[in-house]
Amino acid sequence: MSRRTVARLGVAVAALTAFDVIGFLSGAEHHGGIWNSVPLGDLALGVLGAGVLVWFSKRILKRLLSRPESYYDGTRQP
């Protein structure tokens, strides 16, 4: 990882933390989800959720369902 990348990531993490603090301070129990009232909950949900999605789709689903584009060619269509 280059220094620039590290710097960028650092800025992002700092911004996110700042947001989280604001969110936490603004009394975030608005619609019942735990992730709203726990510090770093939204962030964790975002990172975990997106991560799981990428992992599940790209690693599991793609392996199961991927076919060449010519897969249906030559089958009898309605």
Partner 1 sequence: MSALFLHPAFWLFIGIVVVFANRRRMPGMPVGVIVALGALLALLRGVEGTLETTVAGFRLVWFHADRLSLLFALVFAIVALLGFLYGSHRMRAGETAAALLYAGSAIATVLAGDWITFFVFWEAMALSSLALIWQGGTAGARRAGMRYLLVHATGGALLFAGIALHLAGGGETSLGALASDSPPFWLILGAVAINAAIPPLHVWLTDAYPEASTSGSVFLSAFTTKTAVYALLRLFPGTEILVPLGAAMALYGVVFAVIENDIRRLLGYHIVSQVGYMVAAVGIGTPLALNGAASHAFSHILYKALLFMGAGAAIEATGLRRLSDLGGISRQMRFAVAMYAVGALSISGAPLFNGFISKSMIVSAAGEEHLLWTELLLVLAAVGTFLSVGLKLPWFAFFGERRGVAVRPLPTNLLAAMGIGGALCLLYGLFPHLLYSRLPYLATYAPYTLDHVVSTAQLLLATGLVFYLARKTLAPSPGLALDTDWLYRIPLARAVSATTGALAGVGPVVSTLRGEAVTRLDSAARRLAAPGAPPRRRESFAFRASIGWTVLFAAVAVVITWLVVWLRNPG
Which residues would be at the binding site for partner 1 (CB under 8 A)? 9, 12-13, 15-16, 19-20, 22-23, 26-28, 30-33, 35-36, 42-47, 49-51, 53-54, 56-58, 61-62, 65-78
Report the alpha-carbon distance of residue 11 to residue 74 in Å, rounded: 54
Query: Which amino acid would we find at residue 44?
Result: A
- The CB-of-18 to partner 1 minimum distance in angstroms stands at 10
Nearest to 48 by CA among 38, 60, 35: 35
Closer to partner 1 at the Cβ: 7 or 9?
9
Nearest to 39 by CA among 22, 15, 55: 22
- The CB-of-72 to partner 1 minimum distance in angstroms stands at 6
Closer to partner 1 at the Cβ: 7 or 19?
19
Report the alpha-carbon distance of residue 34 to residue 42 in Å, rounded: 9
- The CB-of-20 to partner 1 minimum distance in angstroms stands at 6
